[in-house]
Amino acid sequence: MFKGRTLITLVVTGGLLASLAACAPAGTSGGTGGDAGGTDCNVGIAMPTRSLERWINDGEGLKTKLEGDGCTVDLQYADNKTDQQISQIQNQVAGGAKILVVAAIDGETLGPVLEDAAGQGVTVIAYDRLINGTEAVDYYATFDNYKVGTLQGEFIEEQLGLADGAGPFNLEPFAGSPDDNNAGFFFQGAWDVLQPYVESGQLVIPSGKLSATNDDWKSIGILGWGSDDAQAEMDNRLQSFYTGGQKVQVVLSPNDSLALGIEQSLLSAGYTPGSDWPIITGQDADKANVQAILNDQQSMTVWKDTRELGDQVQAMVKSIVAGETPETNDDTTYDNGVKVVPAYLLDPQVVVKDDVESVLIDSGFLKASDVGL
């Protein structure tokens, strides 16, 4: 077993060294900065924050994979502060990074620092979140963000029997951080399913906190994706608009961090799981939320196996190092305002209570002990 693993490591590392050696002559590269063919496997990974479980897993998982390939890796987290992320990227480039993997905090502000990096021959991969308004983003690896929202909207549609005409139900919709390009896709995917039921009167929004069109979702976005802010917003809606004994019956939450805050707010307001608890959506399969699913405090989560995203980025890095063009599967959807960024989209999947063991635990994504099983 041990010997086999060592052999595989040697073969993989050897393959990478061979490709590094082979890429010395000029070749072609899809990267902005890779005109001279292949490049060193020196990678800067810039992640948004350690405060959310998924980014810790993403960053550390990817670092381990790339180091296993013999790459030099610098991994940084920026405490959700854009200025900090910009200086981390500058330091990575100054320190010799030839490939940047960036999960942007703010999709609009990284243009200048990435353009400087591109000018120094660096290839940029946008990780999970698109980086807008710049030529200096070469590839994008993510999950199908619109589909994440569609899955949440369809889950609500099915649970409530909306397609069969059931209703009216009280809905409170939430959206993600207005500076995160993904948040718009999540909301639009869900709203394309749900809006017709708002129009037909089957879904009613007592707080009036809805976006009139699916383009002005930012007006109901929670900046920075914070649980505390989502909790405060839900407290406010419940205290101001649910005074006459009416109950909220469904909450569209774009992800798990928001869902956690909303669930706390419902508990404080006296809602009881299994009785008058509303349907609540989520995304990421964070441990606390999977426990909430097991305790009937959350109805579902959209699981994105971040290990697969890491594999995809690892494959992209290998291609760039070898002077080849990385494989992508969507070259039309992700227009960043300056160019359409070639993307590789992975498939998200719905997880409900019955799937926790067979999907999340059996696949090794979570340990049974992580979620109290």
Which residues of the chain form contacts with ligand BGC (CB under 6 A)?
Answer: 52, 54, 128-129, 180, 182, 225, 255, 257, 283-284
- Measured distance CA(348)–CA(151) in Å, rounded: 9
- Pair of tokens at residue 258: 């928001």
Of 182 and 202, which CB lies nearer to ligand BGC in the complex structure?
A: 182
Helix (H) or strand (E) holding 58: helix 53-68
Of 202 and 281, which CB lies nearer to ligand BGC in the complex structure?
A: 281
Least CB distance to ligand BGC at residue 129 (A): 5
- Pair of tokens at residue 249: 């019956």
Least CB distance to ligand BGC at residue 321 (A): 26
- Pair of tokens at residue 235: 């407290």
Least CB distance to ligand BGC at residue 144 (A): 11
Of 255 and 297, which CB lies nearer to ligand BGC in the complex structure?
A: 255
Q: Which of 38, 40, 15, 39 is nearest to 27 (CA)?
A: 38
- Measured distance CA(352)–CA(132) in Å, rounded: 34
Least CB distance to ligand BGC at residue 31 (A): 23
Of 154 and 180, which CB lies nearer to ligand BGC in the complex structure?
A: 180
Least CB distance to ligand BGC at residue 53 (A): 9
Of 145 and 202, which CB lies nearer to ligand BGC in the complex structure?
A: 145
Least CB distance to ligand BGC at residue 32 (A): 23
Interacting residues of 118 by C-beta distance below 8 A, sequence separation 6+: 32, 33, 124, 135, 136
- Pair of tokens at residue 166: 């059931």
Of 107 and 323, which CB lies nearer to ligand BGC in the complex structure?
A: 107
Work out the number of other CB atoms within 10 angstroms of the CB of residue 18.
11
Least CB distance to ligand BGC at residue 206 (A): 26
Phi-psi label, residue 337: left if phi above 0, alpha if psi -120 to 50, beta otherwise: left
Whether the upstream peptide bond of residue 254 has omega within 30° of 0, thus cis, is no
Residue nearest to ligand BGC (CB): 255
Q: Please give the distance of CA 195 from its chain centroid, rounded to a whole number.
A: 24
Of 52 and 125, which CB lies nearer to ligand BGC in the complex structure?
A: 52
- Kindly list the distances between the CA atom of residue 221 and the CA atoms of 154, 225, 254, 317, 359, in Å, as whole numbers in the listed order: 21, 8, 10, 33, 30
